[in-house]
């Protein structure tokens, strides 16, 4: 039986002996986990569920990761109490991977950077964007906090083997077009339910030349199409990224020739321009030049989607020598402390500061309407994050336009949704 990436990874982690029958799409498999993840919003619920189950110890103190990233630093008493619950639990359990304050960062940027994720891994997280790790060839998916508690207790979980949709990109990426645009194209094609409980598997010459950071961006938003996972083969670039993060022993991973897919999408990207997801859904995708003359009140550059160093370099290339439009807020949040320090050494933070940006700590911040940049009623924002639902970043009467860092930075300069090539 020729296997897709999803089938291959789940089969490798199956507790029961693997046969062709129990790896067919729709089959149920019980699998051993490499990692279980939760954050300052979702972990307290999982901790309570563990207590209610009567579980005293997690399955592996190195296999459970808690990242305090949604409210960093804590914005009020309630968020401080959430973090305290997590901190106390981590100390009681002796967890090796508890990250808070100056050691924390946006979880889906932090874990790959620390070498905690690699090809062929099986990861569950109490956050829907756990699917990010598919960019490194891991099967990673979000679950509810009760299921996460079960994973923390047992080190295993059950999965329904998903159908897979193959998405192939060929051609040459035009200037100012990056991974964010490829995943927005995909979501625009199939819709927010087009991959419901399916794996999106990306390939083609464009993907082979896309950086691991670009692949992480794409995998991050697989959930916005309903996907159970977003998956990329692990190639030489993947292994180099993982070695740089301190990992050893990772191997190439690819789907089998002849693997069966539910459908196959293909796109020549040679004439693709930067895309934008207009309010209030990620599937409302338009070319930025055709999205309208939209005045902008705030720009957010950061998040688990586009807060990596590659993204900051792209934004800085637009903002260098320019100024943020008067009366517009441009918030820049590097995704991890290491990215923050690298941006400092490379002079990117100086570029942002000179342009008039607000530079903040590594945090999810305004992405979820948490803090560090909440929108008022009637305001419009361009954001490099992943969701533009009504009320996502503040007032339900605000509007969010999702775009890549080039577009976000250009829009900060003009005060309107802008194609970076027009500057």
**Domain-wise residue ranges, the chain:** 5-268, 277-422
Alpha-carbon dihedral sign for residues 396, 399, 402, 405 = negative
Instruction: Examine the pLDDT at 19 and tell me if it is beyond 80.
Output: no
Q: Would you state the pLDDT for residue 20?
A: 67
Q: Average pLDDT for residues 319-337, to the nearest whole number? A: 98
User: Is the Cβ–Cβ distance between 221 and 106 less than 8 Å?
Assistant: no
Confidence of residue 12 (pLDDT cuts 50, 70, 90): very high
Instruction: Examine the pLDDT at 378 and tell me if it is beyond 90.
Output: yes
Instruction: Examine the pLDDT at 388 and tell me if it is beyond 90.
Output: yes
pLDDT tens per residue across span 110-157: 999 999 999 999 999 999 999 999 999 999 999 999 999 999 999 999
Instruction: Examine the pLDDT at 1 and tell me if it is beyond 90.
Output: no
Q: Average pLDDT for residues 323-340, to the nearest whole number? A: 98
Instruction: Examine the pLDDT at 21 and tell me if it is beyond 80.
Output: no
Look up the CATH architecture of domain 5-268. 2-Layer Sandwich (3.30)
Q: Would you state the pLDDT for residue 22?
A: 82
Q: What percent of the chain is predicted at pLDDT more than 90?
A: 98
Rounded to the nearest integer, the mean pLDDT of the chain is 97
pLDDT tens per residue across span 363-374: 999 999 999 999
Q: Would you state the pLDDT for residue 47?
A: 98
Question: Closest by alpha carbon to 347, among 371, 302, 394, 312?
Answer: 312
Q: Are 5-268 and 277-422 equal in CATH topology? A: yes
pTM of the entire predicted model = 0.96
Instruction: Examine the pLDDT at 407 and tell me if it is beyond 70.
Output: yes
Q: Average pLDDT for residues 27-38, to the nearest whole number? A: 97
Distance between CA atoms of residues 263 and 165, nearest Å: 5
pLDDT tens per residue across span 35-89: 999 999 999 999 999 999 999 999 999 999 999 999 989 999 999 999 999 999 9
User: Is the Cβ–Cβ distance between 406 and 315 less than 8 Å?
Assistant: yes
Q: Would you state the pLDDT for residue 393?
A: 95
Look up the CATH architecture of domain 277-422. 2-Layer Sandwich (3.30)
Q: What count of Cα atoms within 13 Å lies in the side-chain half-sphere of residue 101?
A: 4
**292 vs 19, higher pLDDT:** 292
pLDDT tens per residue across span 243-284: 999 999 999 999 999 999 999 999 999 999 999 999 999 999
User: Is the Cβ–Cβ distance between 378 and 397 less than 8 Å?
Assistant: yes
Q: Average pLDDT for residues 335-356, to the nearest whole number? A: 98
Q: Give the SS3 label for residue 376.
A: coil
Write out the chain in H/E/C secondary structure.
CCCCHHHHHHHHHECCCCCCHHHCCCCEEEEECCEEEEECCCHHHHHHHHHHHCCCCCCCCCCEEEECCCCCCCCCHHHHHHHHHHHHHHHHHCCCEEECHHHCCCHHHHHHHCCCCCCCCEEEECCHHHHHHHHHCCEEEECCHHHHHHHHHHCEEEEECCEEEEEEEECCCCCCCCHHHHHHHHHHHHCCCCCCCEEEEEECHHHHCCCHHHHHHHHHHHHHHCCCEEEECECHHHHHHHHHCCCCCCCCECCCCCCCCCEEEEEEHHHCCCEEECCCCCCCEEEHHHCCCCECCEEEECHHHHCCHHHHHHHHHHHCCCCCCCCCEEEECCCCHHHHHHHHHCCHHHHHHHHCCEECCCCCHHHHCCCCCCECCCCEEEECCCCCCCCCCECCCCEEEECCHHHHHHHHHHCECCCHHHC
Distance between CA atoms of residues 210 and 194, nearest Å: 24
pLDDT tens per residue across span 204-243: 999 999 999 999 999 999 999 999 999 999 999 999 999 9
174 torsion bin: left (phi>0), alpha (psi -120 to 50), beta (else): beta
DSSP element (H, E) containing 11: helix 5-13
């Amino acid at each position: 039986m020729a296997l897709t990436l999803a089938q291959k990874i789940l089969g490798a982690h199956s507790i029961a002996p693997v046969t062709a029958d129990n790896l067919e799409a729709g089959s149920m498999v019980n699998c051993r986990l490499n990692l279980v993840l939760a954050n300052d919003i979702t972990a307290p619920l999982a901790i309570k569920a563990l207590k209610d189950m009567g579980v005293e110890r997690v399955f592996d103190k190195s296999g459970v990761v808690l990242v305090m990233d949604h409210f960093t630093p804590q914005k009020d008493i309630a968020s401080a109490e959430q973090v305290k619950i997590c901190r106390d639990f981590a100390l009681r359990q002796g967890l090796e991977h508890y990250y808070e304050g100056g050691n924390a960062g946006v979880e889906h940027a932090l874990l790959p950077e620390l070498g905690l994720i690699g090809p062929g891994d099986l990861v569950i997280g109490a956050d829907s964007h756990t699917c990010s790790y598919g960019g490194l060839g891991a099967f990673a998916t979000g679950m509810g906090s009760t299921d996460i508690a079960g994973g923390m207790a047992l080190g295993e979980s059950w999965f329904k083997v998903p159908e897979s949709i193959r998405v192939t990109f060929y051609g040459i990426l035009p200037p100012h077009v990056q991974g964010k645009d490829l995943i927005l194209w995909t979501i625009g094609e199939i819709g927010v339910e087009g991959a419901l409980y399916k794996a999106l598997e990306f390939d083609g010459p464009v993907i082979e030349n896309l950086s691991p950071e670009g692949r992480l961006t794409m995998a991050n938003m697989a959930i916005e199409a309903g996907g159970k996972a977003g998956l990329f083969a692990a190639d030489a670039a993947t292994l180099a990224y993982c070695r740089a993060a301190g990992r050893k022993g990772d191997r190439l991973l690819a789907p089998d020739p002849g693997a069966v897919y539910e459908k196959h999408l293909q796109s020549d990207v040679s004439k693709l321009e930067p895309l934008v997801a207009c309010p209030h859904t990620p599937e409302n995708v338009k070319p930025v030049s055709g999205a309208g003359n939209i005045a902008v009140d705030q720009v957010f550059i950061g998040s688990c989607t586009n807060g990596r160093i590659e993204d900051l370099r792209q934004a800085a290339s637009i903002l260098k020598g320019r100024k943020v439009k008067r009366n517009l807020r441009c918030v820049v949040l590097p995704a991890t402390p290491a990215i923050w320090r690298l941006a400092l050494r490379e002079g990117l933070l100086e570029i942002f500061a000179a342009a008039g940006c607000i530079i903040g700590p590594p945090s999810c911040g305004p992405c979820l309407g948490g803090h560090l940049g909440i929108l008022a009623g009637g305001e419009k924002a361009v954001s490099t994050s992943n969701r533009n639902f009504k009320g996502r970043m503040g007032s339900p009467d605000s509007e969010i336009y999702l775009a890549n860092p080039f577009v976000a930075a250009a829009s900060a300069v003009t005060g309107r949704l802008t194609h970076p090539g027009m500057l």
